[in-house]
Amino acid sequence: MLVVGGVPDFTISIYDLKAQQYIKTPATKLPFKHTLMKQAAFNPRNKEQFCILSDTKVYFFTLRPAFNIDQSAIQEGSEEEPAQVEMTEIFRYEVTEFTASDVPSLDGNQVVFTSFKWDMWNRVHVCTNQTQVLQVSSHDTPVLEQAFDVSGIPLTTQITQKHMIVSTDDGLITWYRIEPPYENADGKVDNTLCLKLTNQVAYEYDF
């Protein structure tokens, strides 16, 4: 479970629900002002990766194994027997970013991120203040793979096996057909493949 603390530090922590304890990580604060935080969520296909969204950046955090010297467990040595050092397992964060300034604006205004959803192929789909949904890869250096035009300003999205459902500020909920990438029988995700979004409308609901 991802936890973002409150005043004064706004520290990022991971709570292991199975072990019922916090995972040991270096103290890490939100990399932006807390009032700009929009959303945070784990990758559904990778329990060691999560994403935090601000208004102008997508931050991808990946947990990497590390070790720390347990100072309390160090035993003094002698000439015959060297000191014994005990290492404890901790994790460190590897952080990459995708920035709104890398996205061309459709109306001349600065692009602002508002919400996102992970898909099952290690991508996030980001809603913005433009009439587009962005598909961003989470691997190595995050890149914009697709910018998908929709009828209005997207508020939120939901992905099923056959559709991306987009709710927009013009009062429409639209089901766009998608083409999921082929997966091998072992269920492993080929990270070179991604979801293909199409402009084919399957259903539309005006509320």
CB 130 within 8 A of CB 105: yes
Write down the pLDDT at residue 152.
94
What DSSP letter does each residue of 129-146 carry, written as one string? SSSEEEEEE-SSS--EEE
Q: Which residues contact 35 (CB under 8 A, 6 or more apart)?
A: none
Q: Nearest 5 degrees, angle CA 29-CA 32-CA 37? A: 100
User: Reading across the β-sheet that carries 113-118, which strands appear in turn?
Assistant: 113-118, 123-128, 132-137, 144-149
pLDDT tens digits, one per residue of 71-124: 554 555 555 565 555 656 788 899 999 999 999 999 999 999 999 999 988 899
CB 139 within 8 A of CB 150: no
Write down the pLDDT at residue 114.
97
Positive/negative CA dihedral, 169, 119, 60, 50: positive
Write down the pLDDT at residue 98.
96
Write down the pLDDT at residue 196.
84
Residues of the chain falling short of pLDDT 70: 68-88, 182-192, 207
Q: Which amino acid is at 68?
A: N
CB 30 within 8 A of CB 38: no
Write down the pLDDT at residue 85.
55
CB 57 within 8 A of CB 100: yes
User: Reading across the β-sheet that carries 46-53, which strands appear in turn?
Assistant: 39-43, 46-53, 57-69, 87-99
58 vs 116: CA distance, rounded Å: 9
